[in-house]
Structure 1
Amino acid sequence: MFGIPLFDLAWLTSALLVAGGLTGLLAGVFGVGGGALAVPVLYELFTYLDVPEEVRMPLCVGTSLAVIIPTSIRSFRAHRAKGAVDMSILKVWAVPVVIGVAAGSLIARYAPAELFKAVFVAVAGVSALRLLLGKDSWNFGTTMPGRALMIFYGWIIGILSALMGIGGGQLSSLFMTFYGRPIHQAVATSSGLGILISIPGALGYIYAGWPRAAEFPDVSALQPPLALGYVSLLGLVAFIPTSTLAAPLGAKLAHTLSKRQLEIAFGIFLLFVCVRFLIDLLD
């Protein structure tokens, strides 16, 4: 089927279903969109499947961005219905974020695999330190900065999100809370960034990975109809249903933990991922 052994296709699909369920469970526990979780889970899976190092990380990132599309749309609609989204911030960020995503996708076409890991290590590391060591008194001010600085931040969030395979919520929520916005409003407003980042990001990774896929004709994970460029269609189809089913279970588990326990658990998880990618970088 599709030029690959049926057993390999069945194994890949089964592994992705399990990985999607694990990602959904962890996303439910930690209350994030899943990108920061999907990328390392996909990376371990594609490592086990011997996907070449040169394309492994961007394939994880592109697939993660595609997975985020339906969940970000659903999340944004729910938050907006409750009136929790600050649309004035999204209007300022809309254009620079999309421009940043486009730039990140273009970088992905030519960047070495090490760049993706380095960005993930840097951003996840800062987030982990904030979760583990941060205090409510850590802030840059009590009001959001001016328009010029907001545009710059939006551009940076777009680039980093595109290179990490996340919907931007982790970065924008961190930014907004540093300027005194309540965490619930920060999370709700950040959900809108998922749409602005995931759709152009996934399309950008399809474009970025298309010529690279031709360089690895013996790797089925990069070839249509199993993938479009750097977006694994099997990963997309398998992740969405199982992660959606598992997320409520993770959410129930989260309610058994305190806010501080969740922060510590997620911070430790991010540090573990940082160490994992850092070891690869230093090899």
Structure 2
Amino acid sequence: MKTNELKQKIGFGILRLSALVILLILGTILYDIISKGIGVINWGFITEAPKQGMTAGGIWPAIVGTFLVTLITAAVAIPLGIFAAIYLNEYANQGKITRLIRMSIRNLAGVPSIVYGLFGLAFFVNILGLGTSVLSAGLTLGLMTLPVTITASEEALKAVPDAYRQGALALGASKWYSIRTNVLPHAIPGILTGTILGLARAAGETAPILFTGAAFFLPFLPKSLSSQFMALPYHLYIMATQHHDIAQVRPLAYGTALVLITLVLAMNLIAILLRFWLRKKKE
């Protein structure tokens, strides 16, 4: 056997082993959560408010709060991220300043979420006077998701062949018209996938909403965007680490974790199905 073939087999073997180890770890975690949380999942758990100091009842206010915050996050991150990516990839001069902007955006994507939470507390809550609210939390998560959305959208735009642009321009179309009709339709699957994955990450974050609006115990729905709210990740954090009777609420904590994982997996599945459907439609 040649040396290169041996190296190739060893390399593929290491990759397969790594993938198997990751799948085993993931499967163990999912089995633990499902086996311990499925027993508390019922209609009442999903639709009722928490009762008796969160030792009974359900998680409906936390589900609604998570949904509202995610909607605001999407309203901030998606349009700003897509338009910023279009400008950087299609209009900006590809010089040192543009490369510096891209590097800064990628660095922002790696900033810990707790930093975004502190920024949201200082800027949205205190300086803008929005208070601890659904709006402050959504805007903070929107800023946190924005670098990921810009990066994913720009990579999707780069993947579109340049001939699509040149062909439209050669026929007399304006640059924006060629982008809107020739480039974006082919980039949308990648843009949507990256955007939804970013929103799924935001839906599971605890640190940013901890400082900007999430409440410890609030057994009713937020009345407006300026109200405090309950959220699934913060609710889970409290029950798993801060509750006065952790042993009693542990099954509820596992149930909450199962619901949160299901919501995140559903968002990821939506991203996969949208990408598949859009590719089929394009073909």
Q: TM-score, normalised by structure 1?
A: 0.32
Q: Which has the bigger relative contact order, CA under 8 A and spacing at least 6?
A: 1
Higher Rg of the two aligned structures:
2
